Structure 1
């Protein structure tokens, strides 16, 4: 497995990945999510203002996941578009990606990480809670999300 910064050439495969993962949970790409629009404009849409976005590939170069961080304010970064293909879950890819997001946020001065997700993504919720995120529904920004989390980095 490898983790690398996303490029413009990754956009079609990323849209396919995110569309497939959302469909597993009864959701559709592009319906009510501003961050779906950001995915179409990668990498600039996520890397402006100190953010970053990565893709996860298997040893053969197949795209298995993605995720990144974007600045919300001077002290807060948001984990965005963190998705893993079903075949990649439970293999440590999500933890490595989340750790990379956190390390990047710390390196650019973040004091807090936030994220939102849906209740049905039980594996993701276990990952976030295991990494020290605490439930805080005030962090819900996405119209299709039902759970918010935060993690203080100080």
Structure 2
């Protein structure tokens, strides 16, 4: 397998430590980093919080390295929240964020969701660009965990809409 070949798949239990480390290193790299807290408990139990709840969580590997990840967490029958989109700093600006986002949108449609909601900090300009070019609309701004954030939402195209 080529070092640059990307393997995109659903989270497995053996990914747990790599997911945690990617979350912390990617967050620190963009300046969104604080003491560990309950707001990160979902990453200690990805299988239950995301997959067993009716959402999903995907990881992208390049070689043996976890390069990117993201999850869908059900809010209600129609809305999934996009959470924990992270790309390893060494693999940024290669389209991995867009690939994860596209995969999660496809999975959300398959799971029957009509909307995806998300938030990102105002300092994460790269993330804002990805979401806005993918059709996400800014709905509001506010504060979460001490950070200024932007709330986005997107209506998903169902297969029968195409």
Answer yes or no: same fold by TM over 0.5: yes
- Counterpart of 1:118 in structure 2 is 121
Tell me the CA shift for residue 26 of structure 1: 4.2
TM-score by length of structure 2 reads 0.85
CA displacement 1:31-90 (0-9 Å, x = unmatched):
352xx21110122221123200011110x1211111011110111001011000111111
Structure 1: give runs of 5+ residues left out of the alignment: none
Runs of 4 or more, structure 1, over 6 Å off, are: none
How many residue pairs were aligned? 150
- Counterpart of 2:21 in structure 1 is 16
Q: Give the secondary-structure state (helix, strand or coil) at the position aligned to 1:18.
A: helix
Structure ID, larger Rg: 2
Residues 143, 149 of structure 2: 8 Å contact kept? no
Q: CA RMSD in A?
A: 1.8
- Counterpart of 2:108 in structure 1 is 105
Residues 139, 151 of structure 2: 8 Å contact kept? yes
- Counterpart of 2:94 in structure 1 is 91
Rounded Cα–Cα distance in structure 1 between residues aligned with 2:67 and 2:48? 21
TM-score by length of structure 1 reads 0.89
